[in-house]
Amino acid sequence: MKKRLLIIGAGGVGNVVTKKCARMEETYEEILLASRTKKKSDEIASESGPVPVSTARVDADKTEETVSLIRQFKPDLLINVALPYQDLPIMEACLETGVHYLDTANYEPKDKAKFEYSWQWDYHDRFAEAGITALLGCGFDPGVTNVFTAYGVKHYLDEIHYLDIVDCNAGDHGKAFATNFNPEINIREITQPGRYWENGAWKETDPLEIHTSVEYPRIGPRESYLLFHEELESLVKHFPSLKRARFWMTFSQQYITHLKVLQNVGMTSIEPIDFEGTLIQPLQFLKAVLPEPSSLGEGYQGETSIGCQMRGVKDGKERTVYIFNNCSHTEAYRDTKAQAVSFTTGVPASIGAKLMAEGTWLKPGVWNMEQFDPDPFMELLPKYGLPWEILVDIELAFTDITRDS
């Protein structure tokens, strides 16, 4: 039986998820796209189909507003692609109404730049008792990177020991400074201390302190910076044989210079300041003046390249496996009028939702991606625009790991 889908959030990712799901006629009978600003949902809906897409306004910070929307529309499943702040109020609404839940980023309180799974994992028993599924972090990273790891372990390794997740955006949007997903969330993430897992403990670094040049397939060498990223937390829990797990992301020198200046003048702070009698958060003000991620698509050149390098043992011998996807900004725009960062997040969310809607990935409780069978997800990725490749025993080159002091 075809399902009813509610999507919350009409930003860069919401645009891609809605367009992709609206092409899944075999899965959905109707979609409702709701967001804080209805006009943005209307624009996306007017470009989506053939599944009918209607729109509504909702403030998802308020559980009662989401509950009331759910009671009117009666969805089977909800995709949350608003902001991480809304995760818990939306999960509460799903519990109250018995609707399955999916998101792409873990909960983060507004007043503290800190993200971790504990808040959402605490919902496991309540979701299990209610007989509904919550699938967490179903974007690219987290999301596809968790599935790549699960797939590498399932098919190529008896035991995984080392994991390096590498995320490169080798694209050019022609702006002096812009972030590829929500600027507030993005800047909060990368200005935090770095963290990686080694020998059973987290090791902390200064923000962007450790960097190295990584040779990305069909792109070449790019300086990549060690960050803490949320999938590390669930992966080290679910693959306890990991001796080390790290996450690396590329930034251009121009991006880092802009970020440093903005930090130095206090524009990335989340501490409210008094401006002519009004309390404003500098980072929220900065978000308001930066380009919206959804506006970067047109004319964006180049590719993203994200993958998981794993090292472990198979049949008593050491083995490396690298699974990755390269995604072209131009192709993403042609398909959904989005840049590749929104595209690589929205496509996995639409695939995860499809697997839930069709009952392939459903089990009551709160789960991370690597806790489901990776095969059906890997099978659908190329079909919806994200082909992946796998290299066995060809290690990705990491050169000159530098630690700034």
Phi, psi of 41 (to 5 degrees): -65, -40
- Pick the closest to residue 216 from 38, 389, 63 (CA basis): 389
Report the nearest approach of ligand NDP to the CB of residue 80 (Å): 8
Nearer to ligand NDP, 157 or 290 (CB): 290
Strand order in 100-103's β-sheet? 53-57, 28-35, 3-8, 77-80, 100-103, 133-136, 365-368
- Shortest distance, position 132 Cβ to ligand NDP, whole Å: 21
> Which of 345, 295, 308 is closest to 84 using CA atoms?
345
Identity of the residue, 149 or 345, whose beta carbon is nearer to ligand NDP in the bound complex: 345
| Cβ atoms 3, 26 nearer than 8 A | no
Least Å distance between CB 151 and ligand NDP? 17
181 vs 192: CA distance, rounded Å: 17
Q: Between 131 and 387, name the residue whose CB sits nearer to ligand NDP.
A: 387
d(CA 115, CA 2): 35
Which of residues 32 and 157 has its CB atom nearest to ligand NDP in the complex?
A: 32
The rounded distance, in Å, linking the Cα atoms of 10 and 44 is 8
* Distance of closest approach, residue 120 Cβ to ligand NDP, in angstroms: 13
Binding site for ligand NDP (CB under 6 A): 8-14, 35-37, 40, 58-61, 81-84, 86, 104-105, 137, 139-143, 181-182, 185, 292-294, 341-342, 345
* Beta carbon of residue 392, minimum distance to ligand NDP (angstroms, whole number): 25
> Hey, what are 24's tokens?
């899944």
Closest CB to ligand NDP among residues 143, 312: 143
Asked if residue 9 lies in contact with residue 82, where contact means CB atoms within 8 angstroms, the answer is yes
The label of the residue with tokens 């309540």 reads: 126
Of the pair 31, 157, the CB lying nearest ligand NDP is at: 31
Among 265, 263, 246, CA closest to 255:
263
**Rounded to the nearest whole angstrom, what is the least distance from the CB of residue 51 to ligand NDP in the complex?**
20
**Residues 396 and 309 sit within 8 Å (Cβ to Cβ):** yes
For ligand NDP, the closer CB: 14 or 297: 14
Q: Which residue is nearest to ligand NDP (CB)?
A: 11
Residue 400 C-beta: closest distance to ligand NDP, Å: 28
Task: Give the phi and the psi of residue 383 in degrees, each rounded to 5.
Answer: -65, -30
